[in-house]
Chains A and B, each alone.
Chain A
Amino acid sequence: MLDLSNDLHTYLLIGAFLFAAGFYGILQRRSLIGMLISSELILSGASLNFMAFSRFLAPDPTVGQIFTLFIMGIAAAEAAIALSIVIAVYRNYKSIDSEDLTDLEG
Chain B
Amino acid sequence: MTAEGLTGLVFLVMIAITVIGALVATNSVRLVRSVAGLALCFIGVAGLFYFLNSPFIAMMEMLIYVGAVCVAITFAIMLAEPRSEDKPGKQSGIGALFGFFAAGLVYWGIASIGNNTTWVSAQSRVNNGSITEIGKALLTSYSLVFELISVVLLVAIIGALVLARTGRSKNNA
Chain A residues with CB under 8 Å of chain B are 1-2, 4-5, 8-25, 27-31, 33-34, 36-38, 40-41, 44, 47-48, 51-52, 54-63, 65-66, 68-70, 72-81, 83-92, 95-97, 99-100
Flag if B84 contacts A95 (CB, 8 Å): yes
B92 touches A (CB below 8 Å): no
What chain B residues lie within 8 Å of A31 (beta carbons)?
A: 31, 82, 84-85
Chain B residues with CB under 8 Å of chain A are 4-5, 7-9, 11-12, 15, 18-19, 22-23, 25-27, 31, 34-35, 38, 41-42, 45, 48-49, 51-54, 56-57, 60-61, 64-65, 68-69, 72-73, 75-77, 79-82, 84-85, 89-91, 96, 98-100, 102-104, 106-107, 110-111, 114-115, 119-129, 133-134, 137-138, 142, 145, 149, 152-153, 155-157, 159-161, 163-164, 166-168, 170-171
What's the nearest-Cβ distance from chain B to residue A45, in Å? Answer: 9
Q: When the two chains form the complex, which single residue of B45, B82, B164 contacts A48, counting CB atoms closer than 8 Å?
A: B45
What chain A residues lie within 8 Å of B42 (beta carbons)?
A: 44
CA distance A82 to B41 in the complex (A): 20
Flag if B26 contacts A25 (CB, 8 Å): yes
Total inter-chain residue pairs, C-beta < 8 Å: 259
